[in-house]
Chains A and B, each alone.
Chain A
Amino acid sequence: MKLILNTLLLILIYCITTLPQGFDVKAKGTQTFSFKDDKGRNQATFHSVTPFDEVDGLTTAISGQVTFDVKDIKNTLKGQISLPTESLKTGIKMRDKDLKEPKWLDAEKYPAIIYKIKKVTNVQKTAPNKLTIKVTGDFYLHGVTNEVPVTVTITYLDESAATQAREPGDLVGVTANFSITLSKFNVQNMILGKRVSDNIDIGVNIVGTNKF
């Protein structure tokens, strides 16, 4: 009896973790979304806190694409987003210049920051058109690639009058918050000493369309 129960439990766990999990929306099949936004609405922010100073930064020059089957995010989500290192701004021109110097992010040598999706786990449906997923991907910064896990919330909106006011096509809104450690990317905080934290909090808030 115990063996049967254990077997049933294992089958249940297997089904839960491997069954396709996706959105309950009108759209069907595989969809590709582009995050290129000329209006500058898509954005990535970064935040650093040290006892001495607090730095907030932002870029709106995000591009990239993701492809997934609407009904099976876990097994089909692929893609990457990227941004030009040169586009990072902190509200102080001199600091922006320092940030792109060779001793920091070296924008000339490493012109792009890229996140490439590798796998998806822990899919949770919080609404028919909203999923929270855990994405593991390669984060490329300053010439170094590290695996970074990110918790992502994806909201799928079928095309409607409201979405058309923003952009044509179905829209996906993606929000994510995660942290990176600068020293793991060979960024040594040389110029400003310890005024910038080694741990940088990153926030992503982007909207993509499947009509591009």
Chain B
Amino acid sequence: MNKKQIITFAISLTIIIAVFIIWIINGTYVFTQTQILIEKKDALFGTTYKEWQNKFIWGLDLTLIISAVSIIASTILFFIFKVKRKRKNEINS
């Protein structure tokens, strides 16, 4: 592995770890949500009711998509840098 390949690998790994950390912090939901239900108090009847509130919750689906894109991109870059290295070596020799 050359330096560029190591950097690519490190960035990819960092992205994957970061998105999984974000997913865990957000509550390990399976699906990404854009709205959540919040409870509100009905003072007249002394009951509670629910309302939708706009809130983005990071889900496993988004985590896997970003991880997959990161793996594919880094794999492509890994081979591009490998080929460039080979060509450079051929020119030098």
Contact = CB atoms under 8 A, between A and B. Distances in A.
Interface stretch (A11-19, A51-59, A103-111, A136-144): A51-59
A4 interface: no
Nearest to A205: B49
Contacts, number: 45
In this complex, the interface size class of chain A, counting residues with CB under 8 Å from chain B, is: 20 to 34
B50 A92 contact: no
Interface residues of B, number: 16
Contact of A91 (B30, B47, B52): B52
B44 interface: yes
Contacts of B31: 53, 92, 94-95
B33 A92 contact: yes
A195 B38 CA distance: 22
A58 B44 contact: no
Contact of B30 (A166, A175, A195, A205): A195
B37 A173 contact: no
Interface in B24-66: 30-37, 42, 44-45, 47-50, 52
Interface stretch (A23-31, A70-78, A116-124, A155-163): A155-163
A91 B35 CA distance: 5
Given A43-B50, A45-B50, A58-B50, A91 B33 contact: yes
Secondary structure of the B contact surface, majority rule: strand
Contacts of A93: 34
A164 to B, nearest CB: 11
21 contacts: A45-B50, A58-B52, A89-B35, A91-B33, A91-B34, A91-B35, A91-B36, A91-B52, A92-B31, A92-B34, A94-B31, A95-B31, A155-B45, A157-B44, A157-B45, A163-B44, A173-B44, A173-B45, A173-B47, A205-B42, A205-B48
Given A91-B33, A95-B31, A173-B47, 6 more contacts: A43-B50, A45-B37, A91-B52, A92-B33, A94-B31, A173-B42
Interface of A: 41, 43, 45, 52-53, 56, 58, 89, 91-95, 155, 157, 162-163, 166, 171, 173, 175, 195, 205, 207
